[in-house]
Amino acid sequence: MYLAIDLGDKRCGIAITIEWIPIPKEIVNRTLIINTLKKYIKSYDIKVIVVWLPYDLYNTDLKQLNKTKQFIEKLKIIFPDLKIDSIDERFTTFEAENVLKSMKIKEMKWKKDDISAALILESYLKL
């Protein structure tokens, strides 16, 4: 099973695969991400964690990219038995916003961050 993270400074979107289908699961506070990952790894037998690398269109904003790379290195230490991978997905937030707009549902469980994570996972699985 795969798990994807749309990592943010305040909140993180999480998606997993079920039967190779990316499913948005939840949005968690950044301070809770490691404990949440432990829960998912145990509950869903996660073997691969995919983290979105936040490149901007012109590769000029390296601050967030460096934070994310540090987070990935931390994951490799905490979860040495898992494959920790990353993917460049510059437009997932934009795509997630379009998905939400096209659904036209106001009261919905899914939000931009977990839909972004599902889109990240979908792109990763196509590689």
Question: Terminal CA-to-CA distance of the chain, rounded, Å?
Answer: 16
Q: Which CATH class, in words, describes the domain spanning 2-126?
A: alpha beta
* Whole-number Å distance between alpha carbons of 78 and 56: 28
What's the confidence (pLDDT) of residue 107?
46
pLDDT, greater one: 87 or 109: 87
Rg of the chain over all Cα atoms, to the nearest angstrom: 14
pTM of the model: 0.78
What is the number of H-type helices and E-type strands within the chain?
A: 4, 5
What's the confidence (pLDDT) of residue 34?
97
CA nearest to 47, candidates 22, 70, 7, 16: 16
Q: Residue 31 has what DSSP assignment?
A: G
Q: What does the domain layout of the chain look like in residue ranges?
A: 2-126
CA angle 120, 121, 125 (to 5 degrees): 120
* Whole-number Å distance between alpha carbons of 12 and 84: 16
pLDDT for 61 beyond 70:
no
What are 13-59's pLDDT values in tens digits?
A: 999 999 889 998 999 999 999 999 999 999 999 999 999 888 766 66
Q: CA distances (Å), 33 to each of 10, 106, 108, in order?
A: 10, 27, 22
